[in-house]
Structure 1
Amino acid sequence: MNLAPTSRLRRKPLIALDADHKRIIWLLRTMGAVPRITIAHQLGMHNGALTRLARELLMLEVIEEQGQLSDGQRGRPSVPLALSGRGGYAAGATVHPGWLEIALVDFAGQVIARDATAFDSADPYDFVHAVDQRLRSLTSRTGLMRARFLGLGVAVPGPVVETGPARRHAVDWLHGWRDIDNDQFFEDYFGFPVWVENDATLAALAEYYDSGLIRDCASALLLYVGHGVGGGVIHRRDVMRGEFGNAGDIGRLFRMDAPRPSGIDLLATLRDAGAGIPSLFELESCLETHAGIINAWAERAGNQLGVAANTGVAWLDPGAVILSGSLPRQVLEVLGQHLQQPARWSSALDSLRLPQVHVSRLGGSAVSVGAALLPIHQLGADAIA
């Protein structure tokens, strides 16, 4: 693929799909494998039209036929249709303090590959050069074809600022990103479609897919505990960005000069207790030696996150609350236990339905996986806009 700098290119689908194609794809993405008769009924299509559309999608290899189903009645068994991973793939990239992470995801939403490499620069040009090199290596190693590449998602830790939706107040260790036009910079360099989104929002998308919630509920809230603390909102099975692009920015709820439910705060707490760890990446070495300190922090942070979650539930009434982040799974589990306490969700009406509470299986990789899912997700989500 040509990853060299090029002229301005607008995002556009690399698979030619019309509105009805997208409706079928979205139905399969949210329901799983289903027979043609179910698709026709759900979408209000005549059998002849659906047969033609399905044939076209089969030729594009974005869907596939699965094993026959028998309903126990006489006649021809039904053949379910499902999304096919052969339809294409997308990449997602994000940067952490000390390393760069890339994920590749196929059209069916399955992770093909993950890659992490040392990286320590605040310069966005260094980032795109590094992504260029790693993408070349990954696609060569996995045997993926350039013609099937659907685009790149880039995760940026920082909110959209008032100067415009294309500029973000990136975190301090990515201060060089604050001066770029996110919509233009990456596409001008790469020459293919690029989507740029907040890291916690992309983690929400990844967790929504990975947990299977996309088939069970139409909305979800995500709490993301990394170096900082953030959140994401899924509404009507799509990413909710808000009026100014900052929906889910729960970090503003916690003062910077007070204890916060963030990874940096946990690191400071451990250092105050005598732990000599230089960064969060050595946190696992303290899980046993400082278990009491970590549990006490998790109880306090869990209470803080619980207030944020309960407020979001009161406003949005989501089907699920997801806890994710780059902290070790063991720490996330303890935080999750505090979130799941029945008293957390008590109200004057005991008969209210409450959201499911999930703890991430993806952990820190949720951001890069969500970034890779975004170009693929948008191909179908456009149908519900």
Structure 2
Amino acid sequence: MLQTARSLWSLSAADRRLVALMLDAGALSRAELAERIGVTRSAITQMMASLDRFGLVEEEPARKGSRGQPARPMAVRGAAGFSAGVSFSHGYLDAAIIDITGTERAYQHRILPEPTPEAVAKGAADAIAAARIEAGIGTEELLGIGFALPGDFRVDAPLLQAHRYFPAFDGLDARAWFQDRFAERVFVENDGRTCAMGERLAGSGKGCRDFMAVHIGHGVGGGLFLHNRLYRGAHFNAGPLGTFFPLDRPRPSGQDLLETLRANGIDAADFDRLDRVAEDHGDIIAKWCDRAGRQLAPYLHHVANVIDPALIIIGGRLSASLLQDIVKATGLPQHASPERFAGQPPVVIPSTLGARAGAIGAASIPILHLLHPEPA
């Protein structure tokens, strides 16, 4: 009998570790799992029985070509749990439902009448209800709902220090505010770090323990995964690169791209218009991507020398093709050299989630909190 989503939060630390390993490494035999985490085969059998009670694992077809009894790899069963995520901008809202493996099950795009907490809550409720129908999960309990927020958090209180384009959110205790309006468990995070969480579970950072994500959105945000944990810093605001780029000069932010287009007489109200704009004004966007990549390059190199990540992912609110153009313009390698040495340029790659990174990342927050619980 499958357990409810609520009961998944009662998984033991060992169970969570095992599920996280299988998500990163893919299907593994019991012998491989025992070797990876350093326990006996009998211990793995007991742990698998525990996970099976939660409906979390399933056997894949036996591997052929091996001697003796063919090994039957074990994998995480995606339908064992679902999570929702919400991301928004000036004039639109996106909501996604993913399963516990990070696989997208539904995606909804909505016009946002105004960027206020009230409008976001209403739009999120409507979009998640529609996403439930699209995903075919009806009223099934969710692990939680994640909200990606444009801004940082106050040092002295759990209040949002919102981006200047979202004054209605400034000073809001966002988690408490949204929790009062949703029955599901609510999680909130800065949109840059949300982007990093989505990349870790479902994108270019899947299986990577140490990486940096750069979030090209209203500002130049970002997030860090260090030692397989989201690193928030002493005041919960680690990751953004925005301070390297003065606000009164051209900078590699998505908002700067929108303003560049408007300065050229092009109607670009928000990020969800960029694909249509690119059809007629691709030359202007290509020139901006080239400039943005060249602006980012030296700072990515400097930051990489400090934190030594395995790779840097360029993501955010832009499409995958624009992110690839920015990465190319950095001139930094997209593949690791066989000979590695200190001070070498970092490996920089584009997000595979593209503009869906916000909602997918927000939906990843509850799952990563489940599998990698943080110390109180």
Please report the TM-score for the alignment, with normalisation by the length of structure 1: 0.87
Q: Which deviations, in whole Å up to 9, do the C-alpha atoms of 1:201-248 show, x marking residues without a partner?
A: 111222233345333x32111112123221111112232111111111
Aligned to 2:327: 336
Whole-angstrom distance in 2 between the partners of 1:174 and 1:22:
37
Whole-angstrom distance in 2 between the partners of 1:254 and 1:33:
44
Q: Which deviations, in whole Å up to 9, do the C-alpha atoms of 1:146-166 show, x marking residues without a partner?
A: 4541111110010111231x2
Whole-angstrom distance in 1 between the partners of 2:41 and 2:250:
60
The structure, 1 or 2, with the larger RCO (C-alpha pairs under 8 Å, 6+ apart) is: 1
Worse overlay, 327-336 or 237-246: 327-336
Whole-angstrom distance in 1 between the partners of 2:301 and 2:23:
29
Whole-angstrom distance in 1 between the partners of 2:130 and 2:61:
35
SS in structure 2 opposite 1:224? strand
2:87 to 94, 115, 133: 94
Whole-angstrom distance in 2 between the partners of 1:169 and 1:179:
6
1:181 to 173, 180, 183: 173
Deviation at 1:281, TM superposition (A): 4.0
Deviation at 1:112, TM superposition (A): 0.3
Q: How does 1:42-57 map to 2 (within 5 A)?
A: 42-57=36-51
Deviation at 1:56, TM superposition (A): 2.0
Deviation at 1:22, TM superposition (A): 1.1
Q: Is the 8 A contact 1:22 1:383 kept in 2?
A: no
* Distance verdict in 2 for CA 1:277–1:45, change over 3 Å: closer
Deviation at 1:298, TM superposition (A): 2.5
Whole-angstrom distance in 1 between the partners of 2:24 and 2:341:
31
Aligned to 1:201: 193
SS in structure 1 opposite 2:143? strand
Whole-angstrom distance in 2 between the partners of 1:212 and 1:127:
28
Q: Is the 8 A contact 2:121 2:178 kept in 1?
A: yes
Q: How does 1:346-357 map to 2 (within 5 A)?
A: 355-357=346-348
Query: Structure 2: 5+ residue runs without aligned partners?
Result: 1-5
Deviation at 1:191, TM superposition (A): 2.9
Worse overlay, 299-308 or 284-293: 284-293
Identity %: 29
Is the aligned partner of 1:68 residue 2:59?
Answer: no
Aligned to 1:136: 129
Amino acid at match of 1:255: P
Q: Is the 8 A contact 1:123 1:177 kept in 2?
A: yes
Is the aligned partner of 1:37 residue 2:28?
Answer: no
Structure 1: 4+ residue segments shifted above 6 A: none
Whole-angstrom distance in 1 between the partners of 2:255 and 2:358:
18
Q: Is the 8 A contact 1:340 1:357 kept in 2?
A: no
Query: Structure 1: 5+ residue runs without aligned partners?
Result: 1-11
* Distance verdict in 2 for CA 1:318–1:87, change over 3 Å: same
Q: How does 1:149-160 map to 2 (within 5 A)?
A: 149-160=142-153
Deviation at 1:186, TM superposition (A): 1.9
Please report the TM-score for the alignment, with normalisation by the length of structure 2: 0.88
SS in structure 2 opposite 1:33? coil
Amino acid at match of 1:48: S
Aligned to 1:4: none
Q: Is the 8 A contact 1:159 1:249 kept in 2?
A: no
SS in structure 2 opposite 1:28? helix
Q: Is the 8 A contact 2:91 2:270 kept in 1?
A: no
Q: How does 1:102-181 map to 2 (within 5 A)?
A: 102-144=95-137, 146-164=139-157, 166-181=158-173
* Distance verdict in 2 for CA 1:284–1:184, change over 3 Å: closer
Q: Is the 8 A contact 1:13 1:150 kept in 2?
A: no
Whole-angstrom distance in 2 between the partners of 1:83 and 1:327:
31
Aligned to 2:76: 83
Q: Which deviations, in whole Å up to 9, do the C-alpha atoms of 1:301-344 show, x marking residues without a partner?
A: 212211221122111111111111323444322211112446xx
Deviation at 1:268, TM superposition (A): 2.8
Deviation at 1:366, TM superposition (A): 0.2
Whole-angstrom distance in 2 between the partners of 1:80 and 1:212:
24
* Distance verdict in 2 for CA 1:207–1:35, change over 3 Å: same
* Distance verdict in 2 for CA 1:45–1:284, change over 3 Å: closer
1:245 to 214, 217, 236: 236
Whole-angstrom distance in 2 between the partners of 1:282 and 1:127:
19
